Amino acid sequence: MSKQYQAIIVGAGPAGSSAALTMALAGLDVALIERGAFPGEKNMFGGILHRMTSIEELMPDFWTKAPLERHIAKKGTTFLTREASFNVQHETVNFDRAPYNGYTVFRPRFDRWLAEEAVKAGATLITRSTVDDLIYKNDRIAGVSILGRAGQIKAPVVIAADGVLSFTAQKAGLRRPKFNADQMAVGVKALIDMPREMIDDRFGLVRDQGFANEFVGATSGVRGGGFLYTNYDSLSIGLVFHLASLRVSGKTPYDMLNEFMEQPQVAKLVRGGRLMEYSAHVIPEGGYNMIPELAGNGILVAGDAAALCNATGVNLEGINLASHSGILAGKTVIEAHQRQDFSLKTLKRYKERLDLSWVMKDLKGFRNAPRMLHIDRIYNEYPELVCSMMEHIYRIDGTPKVSIPKLVLREVKEKVGLKNAISDALTAWRAL
Amino acid sequence: MNIDEIFDFTSFTIDREPHIVLDTTVCAGCDNRGCTNSCPARCYTWSEEEQKMTFVHDGCLECGTCYVVCHKSAFTRWRYPRGGYGVAYRMT
């Protein structure tokens, strides 16, 4: 059994479904192949669905139709130690009205919906199908084979949107066979059931407002960070670890997640909740420097498969980059069909399009951010410094006060070292 | 959260055929065994007594950590499960 399509998209995540939607709207007959029982079944993220202006152009009613949770009106950062925490929060009415800056979503719902939109536009969704290999005819990509199944799915061009490990891109020779653990992270997440009113009261939210908080110092000295996001009636709480650092730490993600949720101030935030689901996934955090070859003869790479993830330490973006790259890949395939040329000569237009877009401009602009995140002091010494300094400033106990500049200097010297602090500040300045 | 009770809070459709296969003789000679602590689902356990690595794929979250962390290329197979099998998130 084999069927001929005009394009195959491997993976019905945000990149794949955006590509399928783009091509289907232009009248191409495309196959969107997903290994899950439904799109989104295998997907998790720790994150926020940010504005996606390119998909808004394809679907003007995107934000009214998509299955969203709360819009993020309030963002916070917490410096955490075992005993203490120091919070910085930002809230503005500008993030509390349309167009909203970002939403929390459940991937099994959101990804499924987006793939269905591609199907409504004419794409064929093939679920429960793990792509095994690319098939070639006369040295040209001619389609894909499915694991454990006879037959092939044929098309003159394939878009690899099969996620961070992209075996499709590897088989096409576009990504290196070995990943660098320095450029990869793993996120683990607990979904905590909690009544809506409790969330509203606890985090100071009304209507559909949501809160997103990042934590520094939550990872027992392992490079990484913590997050807490509000859904309508649940919390997403988790940790992200850089793999090179986690590997040698001897610590386990779940033990550290438990410790994080038991930290006295964090425990108050999750109290009364019930664990509903635990999930984990690798994240390409190497930024611009780890992007693979984006195009080859008969193949394009999009989304996490192309490492299009912007983890600057301030904002964490992925789905918006994935969707935009999927749309640009789709546009390039449409053009390739017009020319009837699926060679790199035509498909390399995809890379040119990406280079001109905010996706590559952002990744290039923040290409040094991963280096800043490799400063190990961020994950232990600096949160200790901030919390200890605040404790000294707030403490009134009948002893004479030290002036604040003197206190800062003393604490910096003691906790970090002056030289280190200056060098870290320079690294951070250059990175951001 | 007790990771040993992962089947109580995350759903799986378990395939009898493992999607990841290890050459455990390679693991015996590994100086790091970062997989044992890095795997978020505790699929890898090293027995100091028997000097043996055990891998169980049942509760695998298909996250990719071991694929990146293993620097000894101990996998004779590392692929995603057949379509329809493996971890099945409901909400997350």
A170 and A52 co-located in one domain: yes
What residue segments make up the domains of chain B, in order of their start? 20-78
Provide the CATH number for the domain around residue A55: 3.50.50.60
Least confidently predicted of A26-30, A344-348, A388-392: A388-392
Peptide bond into A99 cis (omega under 30): yes
Among candidates A327, A325, A373, A85, which has minimal Cα distance to A215? Answer: A85
Rounded percentage of chain B residues whose pLDDT exceeds 70 = 100
pLDDT at residue A75 in the model:
95
A96 in a domain, yes or no?
no
pLDDT at residue A13 in the model:
98
A341 and A239 co-located in one domain: no
Spell A358-371 as b/e; 16+ CB within 10 A means b. ebbebbeebebbbe
B80 to chain A: which residues are within 8 Å by CB?
35, 130, 147, 167
A61 and A130 co-located in one domain: yes
Of A356, A381, A403, which one is at a domain's C-terminal end?
Answer: A356
Which among A37, A184, A280 has CB closest to B84? Answer: A37
A224 and A162 co-located in one domain: no
A208 and A251 co-located in one domain: yes
Contact A117, A22 (CB under 8 A): no
Among candidates A400, A320, A329, A332, which has minimal Cα distance to A363? Answer: A320
| A243 close to B (CB below 8 A) | yes
Q: Running DSSP on this structure, what letter comes out for residue B29?
A: T
A254 and A193 co-located in one domain: yes
B67 to chain A: which residues are within 8 Å by CB?
165, 179, 282
A349 in a domain, yes or no?
yes
Closest residue in B to A162 (Cα–Cα) = B80
pLDDT in tens, A213-241: 999 999 999 999 999 999 999 999 999 99
Q: Average pLDDT for residues A85-100, to the nearest whole number?
A: 94
Q: Residue A125's domain spans which residues?
A: 2-69+104-176+292-356
Contact B67 A165 (CB under 8 A): yes
**pLDDT above 70 (res A419):** yes
A94 in a domain, yes or no?
no
A95 in a domain, yes or no?
no
Q: Assign residue A45 a region: left if phi > 0, alpha if psi is -120 to 50, beta otherwise?
A: beta
pLDDT at residue A158 in the model:
98
| A191 close to B (CB below 8 A) | yes
| A46 close to B (CB below 8 A) | no
Residue with tokens 């992209």: A166
Q: Which CATH number fits domain B20-78: 3.40.50.1970, 2.160.10.10, 3.10.20.30, 3.30.70.20?
A: 3.30.70.20
A168 and A188 co-located in one domain: no
- In the numeric block, which tokens belong to residue A389? 């300094």
Decide: helix, strand or coil at residue B20.
Answer: strand
Rounded percentage of chain A residues whose pLDDT exceeds 70 = 99
Alpha-carbon gap: B7 to the closest alpha carbon of chain A (Å): 10
A363 in a domain, yes or no?
no
A164 and A40 co-located in one domain: yes
Rounded percentage of chain A residues whose pLDDT exceeds 90 = 88
Query: What sign does the dihedral A261-A264-A269-A272 (CA atoms) show?
Result: positive
CA–CA separation, A284 vs A303, rounded Å?
Answer: 10
pLDDT at residue A431 in the model:
79
A146 and A228 co-located in one domain: no
pLDDT band at B51 (very low <50, low <70, confident <90, very high): very high
A322 and A421 co-located in one domain: no
pLDDT at residue A185 in the model:
96
Least confidently predicted of A72-81, A183-192, A413-422, B65-74: A413-422
Q: Running DSSP on this structure, what letter comes out for residue A94?
A: G
A361 in a domain, yes or no?
no
CA–CA separation, A157 vs A140, rounded Å?
Answer: 9
Task: Count how many domains chain A has.
Answer: 3
pLDDT at residue A372 in the model:
83
The count of other CB atoms within 10 Å of the CB of residue A166 is: 25
Is A61 buried (19+), middle (13-18) or exposed (0-12) by CB count in 10 A?
Answer: exposed
A403 in a domain, yes or no?
yes
A127 in a domain, yes or no?
yes
**Mean confidence (pLDDT) of chain A:** 95
A124 and A219 co-located in one domain: no
pLDDT in tens, A268-277: 999 999 999 9
pLDDT at residue A68 in the model:
97
- Dmax of chain A from CA atoms? 85
| A179 close to B (CB below 8 A) | yes
pLDDT in tens, A22-53: 999 999 999 999 999 999 999 999 889 999 99
**pLDDT above 60 (res A1):** no
| A190 close to B (CB below 8 A) | yes
| B90 close to A (CB below 8 A) | yes
pLDDT at residue A363 in the model:
94
pLDDT in tens, A50-62: 999 999 999 999 9
**pLDDT above 80 (res A284):** yes
A269 and A203 co-located in one domain: yes
Q: How far is CA A12 from CA A102, A104, A126, A239, B86, in A?
A: 21, 19, 9, 25, 17
**Mean confidence (pLDDT) of chain B:** 96
pLDDT in tens, A197-212: 999 999 999 999 999 9
